[in-house]
Amino acid sequence: MQRDFINIAAHELRTPIQPILTLTDALRSKLKDTEKKEILDVILRNARRLQQLTEDILDVTKIESRTLELHKERFNLKDILSNLIQDYRSQIEKKDNNEQNLKILYEPSNDDISVHADKVRIAQVISNLINNSLKFTKLGKISITSKKNDSHAIVSVKDTGTGIDPEVMHKLFSKFATKSFSGTGLGLFISKAIVEAHGGKIWAENNADGKGATFSFSLPIK
């Protein structure tokens, strides 16, 4: 009953969020007053946070009720990575000068990495890992790499942030495991479920040099 209620409530939250986003964005595009635009930016930012929270809640209910569906197709993993990273670079360039000191780098392997997977869900996992690094990395860089061996494709997101808190490490991929004030702790839990549903693995470790952490996941190639 609790899961059904949460599922229904999350679906109902979707309905008012979309017109708030659409109409606020449309209104903002017509304004020239900088102060009024800043007010609308606050509305947009918080509406997007609410939208993401709603989507995360829906995903958690699907995972726990074992109704998470995958729509698999053959695609090149490097294409998704290139597109996502370009989007994140564009977002960072629009922010203030302090955050522009953060760089996002992509180091792809020379070979194409063809996988049979759910393209939307894998993009969601990559976005979750990059967002996680962005929360804890204000300066320095986030480096994304992709490679393959005989049986698996491997994607890694390495940052120069604060690293993984020892209190969180053992429960990192559980629900609500976070030390961030801006997250719910659901992203890594959802990512683990998606990767494992594909027959892959996900893991994380603090970097050997003591600066930041690296999150990685693997997907079977065949």
CB distance 170 to 199 below 8 Å: no
Exposure string over 15-50, b if 16+ CB within 10 A, otherwise e: eebeebbeebeeebeeeeeeeeeeeeeebeeebeeb
In a shared domain, residues 27 and 89? no
In a shared domain, residues 92 and 190? yes
Tell me what pLDDT residue 97 has: 47
Longest Cα–Cα distance in the chain: 57
pLDDT single digits (tens) 17-51: 888 988 998 988 888 888 888 889 889 888 888 88
List CB contacts of 50: < 8 A, sequence separation 6 or more.
13, 17
pLDDT along the chain (222 residues), means of 10: 72 82 88 85 88 86 87 94 90 61 83 92 95 88 92 94 87 76 77 96 93 95 82
The total number of structural domains that make up the chain = 2
In a shared domain, residues 48 and 84? no
Tell me what pLDDT residue 201 has: 96
Last residue of some domain: 27, 44, 64? 64
In a shared domain, residues 80 and 179? yes
- Domain residues for the domain of 191 are 72-220
In a shared domain, residues 111 and 207? yes
CATH of residue 212: 3.30.565.10
pLDDT single digits (tens) 47-77: 888 888 888 888 888 888 888 899 999 999 9
CB distance 158 to 186 below 8 Å: no
Closest to 131 measured CA to CA, from 178, 196, 67, 61 = 178
Bridge partners (DSSP) of residue 101 are: none
Separation between Cα atoms, residue 222 and residue 217, nearest integer Å: 16
In a shared domain, residues 212 and 111? yes
CB distance 56 to 184 below 8 Å: yes
In a shared domain, residues 92 and 151? yes
In a shared domain, residues 139 and 172? yes
In a shared domain, residues 85 and 192? yes
In a shared domain, residues 94 and 188? yes
In a shared domain, residues 134 and 186? yes
* Three-class DSSP labels, the chain: CHHHHHHHHHHHHHHHHHHHHHHHHHHHHHCCCHHHHHHHHHHHHHHHHHHHHHHHHHHHHHHHCCCCCCCEEEEEHHHHHHHHHHHHHHHHHCCCCCHHHEEEEEEECCCCCEEEEEHHHHHHHHHHHHHHHHHHCCCEEEEEEEEECCCEEEEEEEECCCCCCHHHHCCCCCCCCCCCCCCCCCHHHHHHHHHHHCCCEEEEEECCCCCCEEEEEEEECC
Last residue of some domain: 36, 64, 92? 64
Tell me what pLDDT residue 89 has: 86
In a shared domain, residues 82 and 9? no
Separation between Cα atoms, residue 193 and residue 195, nearest integer Å: 6
Rounded to two decimals, what is the model's pTM?
0.80
Last residue of some domain: 22, 47, 64? 64
